[in-house]
């Protein structure tokens, strides 16, 4: 089977890498891709959000499966265009992807399905926002209702800051603060059935000690040695399966990965947000540990055959990824800085590209906020972490920054 992957980040590089390891996958194609993906896949210059162009490319390449990585093409209906062309597609329809694209829609689905989440109010005017802030009290949580690449959320003790963020957005969701460690759980769905992947944790703040602004994610690890026993089963039965059933009931069956961003509160797991795609950079570590061939698994989701698929197999051990970010990420990342030190020579570690490009002379340079993901693997989180940081130490890039505390607590340090 040939597979076409849509997207160009570290998550898509991880998807390509795992697909290449599936013996039933004969060729991997990507659009638009990045220089790291070019080493293992054939790249095509098609805009990821252009459904007609993606469907045309998939038809021309005669692929047996299209895998859509980022949220923007999903929300733009690219999966619908591919399926209309008769090609199996891993990724929800435009309608179902609103579970990520509209926080108000997600809250409505959760309410109908009885899924535990923060109580929330959708607000348009300043007066509505002020009332909601005072109803819930500090810390205040204010979320832009539209897609904001993980950066539309302000969590603050400052009422003025909270009001200012609400005023700067057209429509916001203001909600109760959820206290507890965060976990990312991905469930693969075929419209009816859902199968969980191994939980992971990411680090959303830019700087060590969870300081600084929210980012797309500065690092991740899996498994979670500290997670309560039965967590995955509880999240599947209380959160994922009711959500999948509610979407099916509404005539928008969910095909693809449902990403539950959870807070483990004292009262149990609560949904912070749903995403309609794999998390980045959690995917980089979760797929590293998945032993089941990925192509056949994603095809089973795309064709409604998940119930008949064999149970997932995992490699054991752990994986840790650390993001190398560009100067001034997340505010306004500097591009075009040369990246030196690749390939790295640390056993059990490798690099996935995110925001990279080749300049006019063929030199690898930064081309986005999150530039590289360095992945370390090992028998446990501590070993995987050591390898990731050893490998990161071989790479130099002017102005770059990274967190030094990814998976630190989980490694038992
Ligand atoms: P989101 O884009 O909804 O994932 O929000 C980004 C980050 O803001 C989350 O990972 C949390 O750290 C934080 N956050 C969002 N909603 C809440 C909430 N209700 N309570 C506490 N923290 C939150
Ligand atoms: N790692 C967080 C996200 O993908 O939204």
Does residue 153 surpass a pLDDT of 70? Answer: yes
Q: Whose CA is nearest to atom 13 of ligand 1?
A: 155
pLDDT score, position 126: 93
Ligand nearest the Cα atom of residue 184: 2
pLDDT score, position 103: 83
Does residue 408 surpass a pLDDT of 80? Answer: yes
The correct CATH number of 180-308 out of 3.30.470.20, 3.40.50.80, 2.30.30.90, 3.40.50.720 is: 3.30.470.20
Does residue 168 surpass a pLDDT of 70? Answer: yes
pLDDT grade for 150, boundaries at 50, 70 and 90 = low
pLDDT score, position 92: 98
Ligand nearest the Cα atom of residue 214: 1
Does residue 101 surpass a pLDDT of 90? Answer: no
Give the architecture (CATH level 2) of 121-175.
2-Layer Sandwich (3.30)
Does residue 255 surpass a pLDDT of 60? Answer: yes
Ligand nearest the Cα atom of residue 176: 1
How many CB atoms within 10 Å of residue 350? 20
Q: Does residue 68 contact residue 6 with C-beta atoms inside 8 Å?
A: yes
Q: Average of pLDDT values for 123-137?
A: 94
pLDDT grade for 145, boundaries at 50, 70 and 90 = confident
pLDDT score, position 413: 73
The domain segmentation of the chain, as residue ranges, is 2-90, 121-175, 180-308, 318-397
Closest CA relative to residue 48, chosen from 37, 39, 40: 37
User: Quick check: do 2-90 and 121-175 share a fold?
Assistant: no
Does residue 151 surpass a pLDDT of 70? Answer: no
Q: Average of pLDDT values for 260-283?
A: 97
The correct CATH number of 2-90 out of 3.40.50.620, 3.40.50.720, 1.20.1090.10, 3.40.50.20 is: 3.40.50.20
Q: Average of pLDDT values for 280-296?
A: 98
User: Residues lining ligand 2, CB < 6 A?
Assistant: 150, 202, 216-217, 275, 279-280, 282
- pLDDT tens string 190-224: 999 999 999 999 999 999 999 998 899 999 999 99
Question: 210, 273, 277: which to mutate for ligand 1, most atoms within 8 A of CB?
Answer: 273
Give the architecture (CATH level 2) of 318-397.
Alpha-Beta Complex (3.90)
How many CB atoms within 10 Å of residue 115? 22
- pLDDT tens string 331-360: 999 999 999 999 999 999 999 999 999 999
- pLDDT tens string 27-86: 999 999 999 999 999 999 999 999 999 999 999 999 999 999 999 999 999 999 999 999
Q: Does residue 16 contact residue 5 with C-beta atoms inside 8 Å?
A: yes
**Averaged pLDDT score across all residues of the chain:** 96
Atom number, ligand 2, closest to the C-alpha of residue 217: 1
pTM of the complete model: 0.94
Between the CA of 125 and the centroid of ligand 2 the distance, in Å, is 29
**Residue ranges of E strands in 129-210:** 140-144, 153-156, 172-175, 182-190, 194-196, 201-202, 205-207
């Amino acid at each position: 089977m040939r597979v076409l992957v849509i997207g160009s980040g570290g998550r898509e590089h991880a998807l390509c890498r795992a697909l290449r390891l599936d013996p039933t996958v004969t060729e991997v194609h990507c659009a638009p891709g990045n220089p790291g993906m070019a080493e293992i896949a054939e790249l095509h210059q098609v805009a990821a959000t252009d459904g007609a162009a993606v469907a045309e490319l998939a038809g021309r390449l005669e692929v047996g499966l299209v895998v859509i990585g980022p949220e923007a093409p999903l929300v733009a209906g690219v999966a619908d265009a591919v399926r209309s062309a008769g090609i199996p597609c891993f990724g929800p329809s435009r309608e179902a992807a609103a579970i990520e694209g509209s926080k108000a829609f997600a809250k409505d689905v959760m309410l109908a399905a009885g899924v535990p989440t923060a109580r929330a109010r959708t607000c348009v005017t300043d007066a509505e926002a002020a009332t909601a802030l005072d109803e819930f009290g500090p810390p205040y949580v204010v979320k832009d209702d539209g897609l904001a690449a993980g950066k539309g959320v302000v969590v603050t003790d400052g009422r003025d800051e909270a009001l200012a963020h609400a005023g700067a957005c057209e429509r916001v969701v203001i909600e109760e603060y959820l206290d507890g460690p965060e976990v990312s759980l991905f469930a693969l769905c075929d419209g009816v059935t859902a199968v969980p992947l191994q939980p992971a944790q990411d680090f959303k703040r830019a700087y060590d000690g969870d300081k600084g602004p929210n980012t797309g994610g500065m690092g991740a690890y899996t498994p979670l040695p500290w997670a309560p026993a039965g967590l995955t089963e509880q999240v599947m039965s209380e959160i994922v399966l009711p959500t999948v059933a509610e979407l099916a009931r509404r005539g928008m069956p969910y095909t693809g990965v449902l990403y539950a961003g959870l807070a483990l509160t004292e009262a149990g797991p609560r949904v912070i947000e749903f995403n309609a795609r794999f998390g980045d950079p959690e995917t980089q570590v979760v797929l590293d540990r998945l032993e089941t061939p990925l192509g056949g698994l994603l095809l089973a989701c795309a064709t409604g055959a998940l119930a008949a698929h064999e149970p997932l197999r995992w490699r054991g051990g752990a994986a840790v990824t650390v993001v190398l970010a560009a100067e001034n990420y997340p505010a306004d990342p500097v591009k075009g800085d040369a990246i030196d030190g690749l390939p790295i020579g640390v056993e059990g570690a490798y690099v996935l590209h995110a925001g990279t490009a080749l300049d006019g002379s063929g030199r690898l340079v930064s081309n986005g906020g999150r530039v590289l993901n360095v992945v370390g693997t090992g028998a446990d989180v501590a070993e995987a972490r050591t390898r990731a940081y050893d490998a990161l130490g071989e790479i130099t890039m002017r102005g770059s920054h990274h967190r030094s505390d990814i998976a630190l607590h989980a490694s038992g340090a």
